[in-house]
Every structure is written in C-alpha cells, then in structure tokens.
C-alpha cells in the first residue's frame, strides 16, 4: 500500500500547489490560501456578465471551491439572477425568507438573537435528497468587528486521510438528518415548525460532479450516523472525521465588509459562521442553488 505523501507523523501536511492555472482574461483572481478560497476583482456584478466573465467565474469557483467579491452594490433581482446563472434556486426547508421572495433567505442577528446561523461546521441543507450545490451570500450590514466565516476544503480533508481510512470509508453511506437541526430553530423569527424535516442517506466520500475529485462528505451539523456499522463504531469514526476536517490547514477565513459576496460549493466545502459580535447586528441575503444527488465514483482520484 502506498503511503500518503502529504501525511506527516503528526498529521496532514499540505503540499502547496505552485503550478499556476491558465491566466484569466476577464477577471482578476487572487487566492487566499494554496488550498481553498480566492477573491475575484475587476468585475461589477450589477451589470450583465459577458460569456467569458461567466465562464471564468465558473472556472474560479471550480478551482478554488469558494470565491469572494467585494463592494458589490447589487439589487435583490441582481442577486437572484446571479444565482440562476449556476442553476435553479433552492428553497430552504425551514428558514425565513425575504418577504415575497421564497428563494432568498434572510440572515439576521442582533442584540435580541438567541443564536446566529451556521455556528457548527456544516454543508448547507445536506439533509436534502438533492442538497444545494452552492450558496451565494451577501452581507449588507456588518458588525464593527467579527462575524467572519470559516471555510474548509473537503477535497483537502479527503486527500489527507490515510490510505487505510480511505479504504474503510469507500462505499459507506451516512444519515444526514434535518429534524434535530431545524425543529424550533427559527422560533425567534416567528417561524412555525413543519410536521417533518428532510433526511437523506449520502455517500461518506462524495465525487464532485464537475471536477471529478473526491471529497469528504460528512458534517457535524447534519450527519448523525454511518449506516451499516455498530453505533459506537459510527460515533467513533464520525468524531474522528469531524475533528480531522477542522484542521486549519484545510481552511480559509473570510473577513466580511459591507456588500461583500461569498459563493461557496457545498459539494466540497464546509463552513462555519462566527457569532463573536453580539450585541452588534449583522444582516445579509442568501441565495442557494439547487444541486444533484450525491454519488461516489470508485475510480475517482
Ligand atoms: Fe450555512
């Protein structure tokens, strides 16, 4: 068995990828880390995108897993249109939406909030049978400090697993359950609970439908157990994987400014929002793009 060259005696190591990708013509792309995240400059998202801009944003998204734009003064309609460039929009099974726009979720926390969104590492709505492929969030009011979002690359988390662990996980599936997450969650916004919330069984290792690469696809927010193994074993393996994926080597952290936009790929990224700004207010709008049913391709790298 080949040893994983990226793995040192004390845990995973990342080999920085010095091979620069083909230059971009219509946008400027600056990576946040060698592993995940890039800021996109020289583009105005309030204007219709040319086909080359659209193509290059798609490419930057695939290459960096999460991309960021700053100082974008866009209307709600611009935001919806941008999301629709990437696919039909997803409607959240529980969260409150902007009045009259079910496809636009409200992000809001202030001094009266009992909680804020996304404080546990997760991939958005992974409890859906076809979880959303991407999320496009704009923050329109920032606290003076804090409120960052952390993103972790599940390609990097998968790559850094030992060969033995990869073999163990290949072909396993896990339960992602929305019930314990969503029941009562939005009570403070006056949202009444639904009778049921979604749950789904997904592969533990997911093959990305665009890049063809494998990514770790269990998250602390929604994944409750691995199917087909004893519960204590499932608890132990999930606990290891949740700890493993939190390694800062796989992460970038985004400092929001007003009118920043982040667009992340839920198929290969987990994220966590920091609620370190109470009692200050943070407000945003989120558009989520529908995705496909997760699958595992045994021959993917
Ligand atoms: Fe989220």
The residues whose Cβ lies within 5 A of ligand 1, an ion, are 118, 124
Task: Round to the nearest angstrom and report the end-to-end CA distance of the chain.
Answer: 15
Which residues are part of the catalytic machinery? 122, 124, 271, 286
What pLDDT does residue 299 have? 84
Contact yes or no for 169/176 (Cβ under 8 A) = no
In the sheet with 173-177, reading across from the earlier edge strand, the strands are 199-203, 173-177, 223-226
In a domain, 165, yes or no: yes
Q: What pLDDT is stored for residue 2 in this prediction?
A: 44
- Average pLDDT for the chain: 92
| Inside any domain, residue 2 | no
Q: What does the pLDDT look like over 239-254, one tens digit per residue?
A: 999 999 999 999 999 9
Q: Within a domain: residue 6?
A: no
CA of 87 to the centre of ligand 1 (A): 18
Domain that holds residue 133: 21-289
Q: Tell whether 192 is covered by a domain.
A: yes
Listed in order, strand segments (DSSP E) in the chain are 7-8, 11-12, 28-31, 38-41, 66-69, 97-98, 101-109, 134-141, 149-153, 173-177, 199-203, 205-207, 214-216, 223-226, 251-254, 260-265, 269-273, 282-289
Q: Is residue 249 part of a domain?
A: yes
How many A from CA of 229 to the centre of ligand 1? 29
CA–centroid distance, 4 to ligand 1, in Å, is: 31
Q: How many domains does the chain have?
A: 1
Cα 75 to ligand 1 centroid, rounded to whole Å: 22
> Is this prediction's pTM over 0.85?
yes
In the reported structure, the alpha carbon of residue 249 is separated from the centroid of ligand 1 by a whole-number distance in angstroms of: 20
Ligand 1 centroid – CA 154 distance (Å): 15
CATH number reported for the structural domain that contains residue 205 in this entry: 3.60.130.10
| pLDDT tens sequence across 69-78 | 999 999 999 9
Residue 10: what pLDDT? Answer: 63
Is 270 within a domain? yes
Residues in the chain where the model's pLDDT stays below 50: 1-4
What confidence score (pLDDT) does residue 246 get? 95
d(CA 121, ligand 1 centre) in Å: 8
DSSP characters over 119-148: -S-B-TTTTSSS--SEEEEEEEE--SS---
In a domain, 1, yes or no: no
Residue 8 in any domain: the answer is: no
Distance 22 CA to ligand 1 centre (A): 31
Q: Could you identify the residue written with the tokens 């995940």?
A: 36
Give the pLDDT confidence score for residue 208 in this predicted structure. Answer: 97
Distance from the alpha carbon of residue 218 to the mean position of ligand 1, in angstroms: 14
Ligand 1 centroid to residue 137 C-alpha, Å: 9
């Amino acid at each position: 068995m080949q040893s994983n060259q990226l793995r040192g005696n004390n845990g995973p190591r990342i080999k920085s990828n010095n091979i620069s990708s083909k230059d971009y013509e219509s946008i400027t792309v600056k990576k946040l880390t060698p592993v995940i995240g890039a800021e996109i400059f020289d583009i105005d998202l309030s204007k219709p995108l040319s086909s080359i801009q659209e193509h290059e944003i798609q490419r930057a998204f695939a290459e960096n897993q999460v991309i960021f734009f700053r100082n974008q003064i866009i209307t709600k309609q611009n935001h919806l249109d941008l999301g629709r460039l990437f696919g039909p929009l997803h409607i959240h099974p529980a969260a409150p939406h902007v009045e009259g726009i079910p496809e636009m979720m409200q992000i809001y926390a202030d001094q009266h909030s009992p909680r804020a969104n996304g404080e546990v590492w997760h991939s958005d709505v992974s409890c859906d049978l076809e979880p959303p492929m991407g999320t496009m969030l704009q923050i329109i009011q920032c606290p003076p400090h804090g409120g960052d979002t952390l993103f972790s690359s599940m390609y990097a988390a998968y790559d850094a697993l030992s060969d033995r662990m990869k073999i163990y996980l290949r072909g396993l599936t896990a339960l992602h359950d929305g019930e314990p997450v969503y029941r009562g969650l939005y009570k403070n916004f006056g949202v009444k609970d639904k009778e049921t919330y979604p749950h789904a069984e997904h592969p533990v290792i997911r093959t990305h439908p665009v890049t063809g690469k494998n990514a770790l696809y269990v998250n602390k927010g929604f994944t409750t157990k691995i199917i087909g193994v004893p519960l204590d074993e499932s608890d132990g393996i999930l606990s290891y994987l949740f700890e493993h994926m939190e390694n800062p080597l796989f992460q970038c952290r985004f400092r929001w400014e007003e009118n920043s936009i982040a667009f992340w790929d839920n198929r290969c990224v987990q994220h966590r929002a920091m609620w370190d700004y109470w009692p200050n207010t943070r407000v945003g709008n989120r558009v989520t793009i529908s995705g496909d049913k997760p699958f595992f391709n045994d021959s993917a790298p």
